[in-house]
Structure 1
């Protein structure tokens, strides 16, 4: 019953966005109600956010300078980055010092670190290559494949979502701590490596040869 109510509210949310008729307060209200219904149904409430995000249009209409998704992102980013993410990080980062050393030898923690340091960059880079190869997309004229590599490595910086998935997938508190330590260590390594590569890349002005 709760999920049915959430589906009806999602349909109303989508219809208002589609017709560009809903005010911000109405859309906010519907989003909160969807979250409440999904949470009350027993399904993890983050699913509500995912579904609502997928319902937001990503194409501009005639006369619009930005898409609804871009406007949502612009309005929500200060709240998300300045309030929600820090609160989640502080509440989720309780890691014992022993967990960091244990993460070096635990298979689960090593798997998480490998996924962040290798899996995500390879997936991002290979996905971009595939999209360009299939002519689904093109690189901007000033961008080379070498420029995409450090960006793909930056994708290995995982924190909030990685910790959330670890908590949902691993019931053992010790494994959760070790996984959280692995996420922090791998994210730090990814940030350092990506920063080093970005500093070594020539700027657009420094490139004299044609692309």
Structure 2
């Protein structure tokens, strides 16, 4: 009984965004120290170790399993939470849902344009225009949780919505401009199985029969989810999109006789694993960038474009896009937020990190020096964005704390950080 209570207490703690954020940041710090230590060869050996069935094109490295496989679990949780917000929460109001979506689009276009402007006429350096478009949702949410405990929950919802749209945009850019081959047969099969997943959620007879049967639901859903993920991976599309899609397809309303809806039941079970295992291990395997110093990042136009694009471009695109949208359309900012909050969050979106590093590898594979400078640029820009955002949001969090009682923490029902 005591062990069960202890495990329940640990699981409840892992459902807190602050705990999850600290664990992810700790994993990233360990990775950076390890990768830049005398023992970096052991780190690279672990990341490069491959396993998995070759016949299914899943003989992947540990780093790839972490970034493509485990991270899909986190994206499922995020997609599921957004579905709850669209059905029951902040994003039910189309005028408020429109704002982060438009801001995300502007936050992709403006940084890319800034990079292209700096690198116009610079030959192969122009290939990296997609690098500053990306926001690393895992790190951005973690930093927000750590420095912004007393910020309104609407800001977290804004960031989640923006980051999901941003990631979908980055996936489309990678698929169209940075991928040589897109396999349509596995993609169509994955979409078909997603339709089956959605039907099982919404077919009243099927859902009720599954709940009444002695067969646990996971026996049906886990193999189906694994097949969807594997097919999405085989298609050439970043496999985390499978997690987002399944999360958005979850049913958020209970059927007669159900103790609770599948969306909240799944989140209650999966979130501790996502926070306690998935995110820290992902950070440990993905954040180990070998830092060779500032070098020529301020003279290399590719690195300079990345820094200005991620920090300045994201701020201008997201903040400016959101502000203009409220002036020319019926979109509105949540009354609990102020524009300075959106400014801090726009800086936070400048944390490109893992997705930006992926596009960097694809852009400059044939240019080693430019690749090293670009990686250093991503690292420097992400760190700068973190420091600036933490400063703004930390001050705002302290101001909100003085104004009244802190928002409610995430409860076990999973209705977002309150």
User: TM (normalized to structure 1)?
Assistant: 0.73
* Residue of structure 2 aligned with 1:120, choices 293, 314, 331: 314
Q: Report the equivalent of 2:379.
A: 184
Query: Which deviates more from structure 2 when the two are superposed, residues 99-108 or residues 46-55?
Result: 46-55
> How many equivalent pairs are there?
204
Q: Is 1:203 the counterpart of 2:389 in the alignment? A: no
Change (3 A) 1:30 1:97: same
Shift of 1:94: 4.3
**SS of structure 1 residue aligned to 2:330:** coil
Q: Which runs of 5+ in 1 are unaligned?
A: none
Deviations 1:153-206 (A, max 9, x none): 112123222223323443247344433322221121112222222344462475
Shift of 1:103: 2.7
Q: Report the equivalent of 2:189.
A: 5
Q: Report the equivalent of 2:334.
A: 139
Deviations 1:88-121 (A, max 9, x none): 4333344344364233322222222222101222
Give the distance between the partners of 1:69 and 1:127, measured in 2 at CA.
Answer: 32
Residue 254 of structure 2 contacts residue 262 of structure 2 at CA under 8 Å; is this kept in 1?
A: no
Note the 1:94-133 alignment, pairs <5 A: 94-98=288-292, 100-133=294-327
Query: Which deviates more from structure 2 when the two are superposed, residues 196-205 or residues 10-19?
Result: 196-205
Change (3 A) 1:56 1:168: farther
What is the RMSD of the two structures over their aligned residues, measured on CA atoms?
3.5
Give the distance between the partners of 1:172 and 1:72, measured in 2 at CA.
Answer: 44
Residue 89 of structure 1 contacts residue 160 of structure 1 at CA under 8 Å; is this kept in 2?
A: no
Change (3 A) 1:7 1:199: closer
Give the distance between the partners of 2:293 and 2:199, measured in 1 at CA.
Answer: 48
Residue 117 of structure 1 contacts residue 156 of structure 1 at CA under 8 Å; is this kept in 2?
A: yes
User: TM (normalized to structure 2)?
Assistant: 0.41
Residue 292 of structure 2 contacts residue 376 of structure 2 at CA under 8 Å; is this kept in 1?
A: no
Q: Which runs of 5+ in 2 are unaligned?
A: 1-184, 211-216, 404-418
Change (3 A) 1:206 1:93: closer
Change (3 A) 1:62 1:82: closer
Deviations 1:110-158 (A, max 9, x none): 2222221012222221343244332233322x42212321122112123
Higher relative contact order (CA 8 A, sep 6+): 2
Change (3 A) 1:101 1:27: farther
